[in-house]
């Protein structure tokens, strides 16, 4: 029996790619091409990096991003808003169609400009699209990290959800959210046994934490990272010359990898190249490792410690009619 037809296995792909930076349509087309590649290889899940669509705000730390009332920073932000993803406007419809065509689940990091928050602020969101092409959850990053707070708004708990995919229960978090113990605990309690950590790109982020999370959760852990090089900065964005002059050759070096539920590498971190990484996961390995430690089951004490999660989608207005 082929691996992808075995009821205990799941064939996954990690797409480590650079965006067509700050260009939503061209980056989306590139993402779809990798969905097609993964689908042609009979993968059942393909994962992309954080903020990949249309790109991470690399300009902030390289162009005096904290300068108040800076015309330059306003230019950058206005362009970012214009290229951000508004799900309600159908911006992800082509990606959903590709997922349905290839019957593959997709996890992608995007910069979301949601109408339910007025449409002029952006959120770092992890989107899960199921193999039927339906968007099942949108998780807005709970706490943007350091300079990200100059561009991104804090999210909420609405997207702290897991999804059944074959024998597995899949959940995910954005970048440094993966350091948040209670966010992880919430996903464990929802039955997660395949954790997806998405990153803008950086070996320093993935080389240690991926294995730590796998060992703690006794789960498979995918770290999907993006890439970004000076050569990826387009000449037609605002203040491109300044950004290029202030940037190193490599802004994000990837580091995508996969660890098993015993914390050992299945795919060691890959750096400095675009690549589609493929592996077949066996759910039996999860069940074996849960024998000695199950963080939400026999090795938990809900009578002493438990997590309260507010999954209400936050909004600045409510109506009573």
Contact (Cβ atoms closer than 8 angstroms) between residue 43 and residue 278 = yes
Q: Mind listing the pLDDT tens digit for each residue in 96-142?
A: 999 999 999 999 999 999 999 999 999 999 999 999 999 999 999 99
Using a 10 angstrom Cβ sphere, with 0-12 exposed, 13-18 middle and 19 or more buried, the burial of residue 182 is: exposed
Domains of the chain from N-terminus onward: 3-289 (3.60.110.10)
- How far is it, in rounded angstroms, from Cα 99 to Cα 134? 9
What's the CA dihedral at 277, 283, 289, 290 to 10 degrees? 130
- How far is it, in rounded angstroms, from Cα 186 to Cα 161? 9
The closest alpha carbon to 258, from 245, 249, 247, 267, belongs to 267
pTM, to two decimals: 0.96
Residue 243's alpha-carbon distances to 27, 52, 182, in angstroms, are 20, 19, 37
Per the annotation, the verdict on 274 as an active-site residue is: no
Instruction: Write out the DSSP string of 150-209.
Output: GTB----GGG---EEETTEEEEEEEGGGGG-HHHHHHHHHTT--EEEEEESS-HHHHHHH
**Residue 2 confidence class, pLDDT cut points 50, 70, 90:** low
Q: Give the other-Cβ count within 10 Å of 43's Cβ.
A: 25
Residue 268's alpha-carbon distances to 182, 235, 240, 279, in angstroms, are 27, 34, 34, 12
Which one of the listed residues 30, 175, 177, 216 is annotated catalytic?
Answer: 175
Q: Mind listing the pLDDT tens digit for each residue in 5-47?
A: 689 999 999 999 999 999 999 999 999 999 999 999 999 999 9
Q: Mind listing the pLDDT tens digit for each residue in 217-228?
A: 999 999 999 999
Per the annotation, the verdict on 50 as an active-site residue is: yes
Q: Kindly provide the residue ranges of all beta strands, DSSP E only, lying in the chain, ordered along the sequence.
A: 9-16, 45-47, 105-112, 123-129, 135-140, 163-165, 168-174, 194-199, 220-225, 227-229, 250-259, 265-271, 275-282
Per the annotation, the verdict on 30 as an active-site residue is: no
Instruction: Write out the DSSP string of 103-121.
Output: T-EEEEEEEE--GGGTSSS
Give me the phi and psi of 315, to 5 degrees please. -145, 155
Q: Mind listing the pLDDT tens digit for each residue in 42-80?
A: 999 999 999 999 999 999 999 999 999 999 999 999 999
Q: How far is CA 69 from the centre of its chain?
A: 31
Which one of the listed residues 11, 30, 43, 50 is annotated catalytic?
Answer: 50
Contact (Cβ atoms closer than 8 angstroms) between residue 192 and residue 283 = no
Contact (Cβ atoms closer than 8 angstroms) between residue 139 and residue 160 = yes
Q: Mind listing the pLDDT tens digit for each residue in 279-304?
A: 999 999 999 999 999 999 999 999 99
Beta bridge partners of 259: 221, 265
Give me the phi and psi of 72, to 5 degrees please. -65, -45
């Amino acid at each position: 029996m082929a691996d992808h037809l075995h009821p205990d296995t799941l064939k996954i792909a990690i797409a480590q790619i650079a965006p067509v930076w700050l260009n939503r349509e061209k980056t989306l087309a590139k993402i779809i091409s990798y969905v097609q590649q993964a689908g042609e290889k009979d993968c059942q899940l393909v994962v992309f990096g954080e903020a990949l669509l249309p790109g991470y705000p690399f300009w902030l730390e390289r162009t005096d991003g904290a300068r108040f009332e800076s015309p330059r920073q306003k230019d950058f932000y206005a362009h970012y808003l214009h290229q951000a993803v508004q799900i309600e406007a159908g911006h992800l419809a082509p990606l959903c169609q590709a997922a349905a065509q290839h019957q593959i689940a997709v996890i992608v990091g995007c910069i979301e400009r949601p109408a339910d928050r007025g449409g002029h602020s952006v959120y770092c969101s992890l989107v899960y699209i199921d193999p039927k092409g339906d968007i099942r959850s949108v998780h807005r990053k709970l706490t943007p990290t350091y300079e990200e707070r100059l561009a991104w708004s804090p999210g909420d708990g609405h997207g702290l959800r897991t999804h059944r995919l074959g024998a597995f229960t899949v959940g995910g978090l954005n970048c440094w959210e993966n350091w948040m113990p209670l966010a992880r605990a919430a996903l464990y309690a929802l039955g997660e046994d395949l954790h997806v950590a998405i990153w803008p790109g950086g070996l320093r982020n993935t080389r240690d934490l991926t294995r730590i999370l796998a060992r703690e959760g006794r789960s498979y852990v995918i770290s999907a990272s993006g890439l970004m090089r000076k050569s990826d900065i387009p000449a037609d964005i605002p203040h491109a010359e300044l950004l290029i002059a202030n940037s190193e050759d490599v802004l994000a070096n990837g580091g995508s990898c996969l660890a098993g539920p015993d914390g050992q590498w299945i795919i060691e971190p890959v750096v400095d190249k675009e690549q589609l990484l493929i592996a077949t996961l066996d759910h039996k390995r999860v069940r074996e490792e849960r024998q000695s430690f199950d963080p939400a089951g026999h090795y938990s004490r809900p009578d002493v410690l438990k997590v309260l999660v507010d999954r209400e989608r936050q909004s600045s207005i409510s109506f009573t009619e």
